[in-house]
Every structure is written in C-alpha cells, then in structure tokens.
Structure 1
C-alpha cells in the first residue's frame, strides 16, 4: 500500500496489487449489495461502511490476508463458520491465497446490520 493516508475506499484499494484489489472490490460489492444504504467512508485509515452513522463493517488488506471487523467470532452461531480462519477479538482473517468466503462475509454483514437495528430499536424504546 502507498504511504499516503487514503481519503476514499477507491484510494485505499488502488494502493494494493491487482489481485488484492480484486478481493477488496468483491468485499465492497457484497456489502453494497446487502446494505445499499450504508455509507462508504475511511475510518482508522481503512475502508469502512457505516449504517445510521454506526460502523457496520471495516475491512483491511495485509500482506497475506484481509481482515474483517467487527466479526462476531465469539457468537456461538459463528463458531463453526470461522473455525478454519485465524480470528482475534472481533476479527477474522481471510487468507489471500484461498477463495474469498462471500457466504461468511454475507453472514457477518447481516449480523452487524441486525445488531445495529436492534440497538437502535432498544434506544427508541427507552425514550
């Protein structure tokens, strides 16, 4: 990646080799397909999608993997789905040398979308 801090997702993606760019674009397209109302931005110098001004999902490229955040890796419903990937607290690493698991990305984005909606509904109830 280039050393300049990216100002757009396009700028961020352009700083990587072509193969990595394709993977980043696939993730971007999937998020846009699932949550077309999500806002594209850069936060913490990485691509970010926000929904109702809340972080929906972040993703970032590294030498050997793509990191997706926040990923509900501790959620029992995701334990099996992420079993074959390196995970950390709230993150899953998708190796660049393996096919992109679009089904897993879909599940993460839908989980986060529902989580944001539930929090918003809970806040409206307490008013």
Structure 2
C-alpha cells in the first residue's frame, strides 16, 4: 500500500495552519480522496467551522463533529462519538474501525453518502447536547 503521507510531510502536516495547507502535504492520490471527504463533510455541515485542531482537520458545530487525517498507510475519519459508530456499524463493516475512528484507503474510500449521514447524525447529537446544556428558558441556539 502506498504511503498516504511521508515522514517529512507528516512534520509539515503537523505545522499546517489550515486545511488547505494540511492537504498540500499529503500524497496526490490521498489528497484527492481527502478532498472528496472534505466536500462531503462541508455539504452535510455547511454551518460547521473548519479548523486545525490536534494538528488535523477538524469540523466544529456545538463542539467537535468529526476530524480526518492522513496516516502513513491509510486515512482516518474520527467520528468522536461511540454511539454514532455503533449506529453505522453495519455500513462500516468493509472498513477497519477502532473505537471512534474509521480507517480507509485511497483504494477503498468512504462513500460520500455514508460520510454525510455520519456528519448529519453528529450534528443532531451535538445540537441535543447543546440544548441540554442550556439553562431552562435560555432560548435556542
């Protein structure tokens, strides 16, 4: 399997100030896959803030929604929520998963429709958490 990011580029990726700079450090084939992932996330969560957090691309809306990253031999979508991972367990069977993380390759990328479902579910989850966290009568978000 082709390396998604070289060791020297891994250092550069860790210093990226924005997602474009992060993606510029990864192998072109991997970049294409991550660009599609990024577009799917943004389509599902246009209201989300796109930032670099923990040195990787992160999408925030009432807290973190998802993160993604390029590793040496695979890419990862970090879902942040065990409940969401469990909800989509059947659809995730073709992929390696670990805790709240889905590992995939350029040869076997995550379907955009699945990414969008996961992100929309995370939005609902974060909205519910934010609503519970508000004092009674404090209004809507």
Q: TM-score range by the shorter chain?
A: 0.7 to 0.9
Q: Is the 8 A contact 1:73 1:79 kept in 2?
A: no
Q: Could you tell me how far apart the structure 2 residues matched to 1:83 and 1:62 are?
A: 20
Residue 95 of structure 2 is aligned to residue 98 of structure 1: no
Q: CA deviation at 1:99?
A: 4.1
Q: CA deviation at 1:80?
A: 0.5
Residue 21 of structure 2 is aligned to residue 11 of structure 1: yes
Q: 1:10 to 1:90 in 2, by over 3 A?
A: same
Higher RCO (C-alpha 8 Å, min separation 6): 2
SS in 1 for 2:31: helix
Moved more, 90-99 or 16-25: 90-99
Residue 31 of structure 2 is aligned to residue 21 of structure 1: yes
Partner of 1:61: 70
Partner of 2:130: 120
SS in 1 for 2:77: strand
Please give the TM-score of this superposition, normalised by the length of structure 1: 0.88
Residue 106 of structure 2 is aligned to residue 80 of structure 1: no
Q: CA deviation at 1:71?
A: 5.4
Partner of 1:49: 59
SS in 2 for 1:30: helix
Please give the TM-score of this superposition, normalised by the length of structure 2: 0.80
SS in 2 for 1:79: coil
Q: CA deviation at 1:123?
A: 1.4
Structure 2 unmatched ranges of 5 or more:
none
Q: CA deviation at 1:25?
A: 0.8
Tell me the matched-pair count: 126
Cα displacement string for residues 20-77 of structure 1 (whole angstroms, at most 9, x for unaligned residues): 111111111111111111111001110001113x111100012332111125565543
Q: Could you tell me how far apart the structure 1 residues matched to 2:93 and 2:87 are?
A: 11
